[in-house]
């Protein structure tokens, strides 16, 4: 059996696929293994899904290779674009179902899940528009030579996505890969496989040929490792932790030297100057850390506030954070749901304990909320030192640390004092300050008087240990194309 009947408070009953989606068909795993998917809100088992092993990765790669070398290469760029637009329209048509499954499986608030689905549709439609605009150029070197370059797809792309934005990361990866003419083997996170499986129902409906998009559920150490080291995968894209990113690079180098793009962790600074609009800054700082339960690679977890407004800002920020409604993801006013798993819950609580033991002051939070589900109170630390674990390591939860600074030079030094470089923010009413500080911050994205305002047209990725390559925007297409040079001699023989 490769589906079960489930029910959510938002969608009612629906059919949940549980198999592996290979060659446009639902199949069981070769070894017949399954694993349980846990509801993070109440710690119960939602269902079990089929687990992909190395054997299943081989089958998915073979299907993707056959498609890439076959009819998919004959599909015009315009028609590739139409397929992505069709898929975007199906996402919009089924927004309530997709959002409900996302909230059930991941625990994020239903209001946020609906936004995620809308952003998925936007991303897929955007890359549908790019499909017939990937162009080469003519290069004039001499009158008797005709040279041109062309952009060609890389081939079979392995894609490994995380559990914090299951559907959105699925769309971020699928969009540019398909627009450029590649085929895909996607591995979803073992914690959150369900929404992507529902999305796979729409692949065939959108008109994609067999083998172009394959989706497997499985564990990183088995299926993810098999993708990273597979000799017939031409490129691997990964979003997740820096630790795992290093392992994937090693596997890629040790196999067929496949192309690699990585979107990894962060410890992003959120800087508030004395002249900032304090109400606006507090709103965005709150959203910057507690959005998606703090389970966000670009979360603004290090908050630096200039000394002139520090005390006032801290008191008002505490008041604002305590208004965040933490609870049932399907509650109409819920902002923060549970953490994704017991493992993640324990990890976050261990960081809170470390902060307390190292002498940081807990201003609010620091405790579990309720006695069922993986809920953690919004937490703010003050009295922190730069060398503390909570200031250096990515916590990936609703926990932030706030510190004061004197001037621009000091805060730039503090902000850059990290091995990461994914994102940052500056809050100020002075345009010169905004531009000067933004230019000095070593981060792939810098927001000014806002936070977490990602858009499919804007490239996203990291400096330093936050990754290689870019997601989104035209820049993402570069990750899925390779350049061929053709040089034609028009004149007589030279020798």
Catalytic residues: 263
d(CA 213, CA 83): 12
What is the bridge-based pairing of β-strands 156-160 and 183-188? parallel
Backbone angles phi, psi at 261, to 5 degrees: -125, 140
Task: Locate the DSSP E strands across 209-368.
Answer: 213-217, 235-239, 259-263, 269-272, 302-306, 361-364
Do 2 and 16 form a contact (C-beta atoms < 8 A)? no
Backbone angles phi, psi at 140, to 5 degrees: -90, 115
- Angle of CA points 423, 428, 432, to nearest 5°: 90
Backbone angles phi, psi at 458, to 5 degrees: -105, 125
Rg (CA), the chain: 24
The number of beta carbons lying within 10 Å of the beta carbon of residue 9 is 13
Helices 77-93/166-179 angle, 10° precision: 160
What is the bridge-based pairing of β-strands 12-17 and 3-8? antiparallel
Residue with tokens 């694993």: 35
């Amino acid at each position: 059996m490769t589906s079960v009947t489930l029910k959510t408070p938002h969608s009612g009953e629906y059919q949940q696929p549980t198999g592996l989606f290979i060659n446009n068909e639902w199949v069981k795993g070769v070894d017949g293994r399954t694993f349980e998917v846990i509801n993070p809100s109440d710690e119960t088992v939602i269902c079990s899904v089929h687990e992909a092993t190395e054997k299943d990765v081989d089958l998915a790669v073979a299907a993707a290779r056959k498609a890439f070398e076959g009819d998919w290469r004959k599909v015009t760029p315009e028609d590739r674009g139409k397929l992505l637009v069709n898929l975007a329209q199906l996402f919009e048509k089924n927004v309530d179902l997709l959002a409900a499954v996302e909230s059930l499986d991941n625990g994020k608030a239903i209001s946020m899940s609906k936004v995620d689905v809308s952003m998925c549709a936007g991303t897929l439609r955007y890359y549908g528009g790019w499909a017939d605009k990937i162009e080469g150029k003519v290069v004039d070197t001499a009158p008797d030579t005709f040279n041109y370059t062309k952009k060609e797809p890389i081939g079979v792309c392995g894609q490994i996505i995380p559990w914090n934005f299951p559907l959105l990361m699925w769309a971020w990866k699928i969009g540019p890969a398909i627009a450029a003419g590649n085929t895909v083997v996607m591995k979803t996170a073992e914690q959150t496989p369900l929404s992507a499986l529902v999305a796979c129902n729409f692949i065939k409906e959108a008109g994609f040929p067999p083998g172009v998009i394959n989706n497997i559920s499985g564990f990183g150490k088995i299926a993810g490792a098999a993708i990273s080291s597979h000799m017939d995968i031409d490129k691997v894209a990964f979003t997740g932790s820096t630790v795992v990113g290093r392992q994937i690079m090693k596997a890629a180098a040790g196999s067929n030297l496949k192309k690699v793009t990585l979107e990894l962790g962060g410890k992003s600074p959120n800087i508030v100057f004395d002249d900032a609009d304090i109400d606006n800054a507090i709103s965005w700082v709150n959203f910057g850390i507690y959005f998606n339960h703090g389970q966000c690679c670009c979360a603004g977890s290090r908050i630096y506030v200039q000394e002139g407004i520090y005390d006032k800002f801290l008191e008002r920020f505490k008041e604002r954070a305590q208004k965040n409604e933490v609870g049932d993801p399907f509650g109409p006013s819920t902002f923060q749901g549970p953490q994704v798993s017991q493992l993640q819950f324990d990890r976050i609580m261990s960081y809170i304990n470390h902060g307390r033991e190292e002498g940081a002051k807990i201003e609010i939070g620091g405790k579990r909320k309720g006695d069922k589900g993986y809920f953690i109170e919004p937490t703010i630390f003050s009295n922190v030192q730069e060398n503390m674990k909570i200031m250096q390591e990515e916590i990936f939860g609703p926990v932030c640390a706030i510190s004061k600074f004197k001037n621009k030079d000091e805060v730039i030094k503090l902000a850059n004092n990290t091995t990461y470089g994914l994102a940052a923010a500056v809050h100020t009413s002075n345009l010169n300050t905004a531009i000067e500080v933004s230019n000095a911050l070593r981060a792939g994205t810098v927001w000014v008087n806002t936070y977490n305002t990602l858009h499919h047209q804007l490239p996203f990725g990291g400096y330093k240990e936050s990754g290689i390559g870019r997601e989104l925007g035209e820049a993402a297409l570069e990750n899925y194309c390779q350049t061929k040079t053709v040089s034609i001699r028009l004149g007589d023989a030279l020798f």
